[in-house]
Amino acid sequence: MENKKLPTLEDLEAKLGGLKSKRILVRSDLNVPITNGLIDDDLRLQESLGTLEWLMERKASVVVCSHLGRPAGERNDKYLISPVRERLLEILPNLEVLENLRFNPGEESNEETFVNYLVSGAGGNPFDGYVNDAFGASHREHASIVGPPKTLPSAAGILLIREVEVVERILQRPKRPFLMVLGGAKVSDKLSLIEKMLDSVDEMIIGGGMCFTFLVASGVSVGDSLVETEMVDTCRRLLDSEVPIKLPLDFTAMDSTGEIGNPEIAAEIRQCGNSIPNGLMGLDIGPGSAVEFSDAIFEAGTVLWNGPMGVFEDPRFSAGTETVARGMADTRAFTFVGGGDSAFAVKKFGFSDSIDHISTGGGATLELIEKGDLPGLEVLREGAI
């Protein structure tokens, strides 16, 4: 990840001869989960405040823009940014917050007309500068990410720079042993990440739904569990690599009468050993595997975790993920949680304050690790500053 240095807020301030009364467009990532008009998890909102406060302390006129959900290029009241705007204005009353960028189809298609609308002032006075602090969207070639730096003096925000620096730290200077813990549903979603990290880590743990394809590749019966049959040969090849890949040896499984996420429907829930009988689906790692994985986390020097160990949203299948989250909180290793469901899990189980870094990125984090750069970072380096 030997890239040209990102322009900083200080660089932007120097370029503009100070920020007082300068009108600055800030692309934040305020894509927070909202239920019935209430914010469920405001991690991204809270992490965005550092840059906004820095600019406002220097008397800049700050206009914030973000996407929210997937409204498919048209106005949809379900995705109004109002709850986020209200929360932000409670903290920083002098902000201006634009409506959901994705209400305009030009945002996701990176249309020149929408870029021009943004850089020319978004319906207000022209902007003097632009700041990208939306790390979680910087892997997208969307209008608000890659458009403004081509014409406006631009900089990376505090959050974006911190996210990039932490990824660089764990890839270039990890404290050994370096352990990666992976979960989630499908091997195919994280194949590139696995192949990339096998060159960097000392050990890899694989749980979640994706572990069953690896188990089939190693000759273990997984019953009716999720398996990507087309990925079995690939998993067999990965298991033959020089880096040890640790898989679960016991599971919490449910029969076909049950419904995931609905404990009120009667179902047989069983603990299984190193193979799962037909008629049962593995939905969480078992207690033995959870303890074994936690022991490995405790002995590591650096731990990167991305992806839950089971369907943790259902309390019947949350124990494995909770045990791993507790292990992340208790270890003396440098701990990095790679956004998405993993970030939600450590917050749900009350361990957020004990993790060294929780990424706001999710997909952007994984892509930065895999590829070493993102479109939103590249355009900043090549932009108007």
Question: Alpha helices of the chain — where are they, by DSSP H?
Answer: 9-15, 43-57, 82-91, 105-109, 112-119, 143-146, 158-172, 187-197, 211-217, 232-239, 287-299, 319-330, 340-348, 363-371, 375-381
- pLDDT value of position 385: 55
Average pLDDT over residues 239-244: 95
> Which CATH class name applies to 176-332?
alpha beta
CB-based burial, 5-20: b 16+ in 10 Å, e otherwise: ebbbbebbbeebeebe
**What confidence tier does 3 reach under pLDDT thresholds 50, 70, 90?**
low
> How far is the CA of 95 from the CAs of 60, 66, 223, 324, 359, in angstroms?
10, 13, 55, 39, 25
In this predicted model, what pLDDT tens digit does every residue of 135-157 receive, in sequence order? 999 999 999 999 999 999 999 99
Please, which pLDDT band fits residue 48 given cuts at 50, 70 and 90? Answer: very high
Q: What is the pLDDT of residue 196?
A: 92
* pLDDT tens by residue, 62-115: 999 999 999 999 999 999 999 999 999 999 999 999 999 999 999 999 999 999
The hierarchical CATH code for the domain 9-163+372-381 is: 3.40.50.1260
9-163+372-381 and 176-332: same fold? Answer: yes
pLDDT band at 36 (very low <50, low <70, confident <90, very high): confident
Mean pLDDT of the chain: 94
Q: Write out pLDDT tens, residues 11-32.
A: 999 999 999 999 999 999 999 8
pLDDT(376) > 90: yes
- Residue 43: pLDDT over 90: no
Lowest mean pLDDT among 225-229, 338-342, 368-372: 338-342
pLDDT at 268 over 60: yes
What pLDDT is attached to residue 2? 55
| pLDDT at residue 35, as a whole number | 86
pLDDT mean over 35-39:
87
- The residues assigned a catalytic role are 44, 186, 340, 363
Q: Confirm whether pTM is higher than 0.85.
A: yes
Q: Where are the domains of the chain?
A: 9-163+372-381, 176-332
Q: What is the CA radius of gyration of the chain?
A: 22
pLDDT at residue 374, as a whole number: 97
pLDDT of residue 363: 87
Residue 1 predicted with pLDDT over 80: no
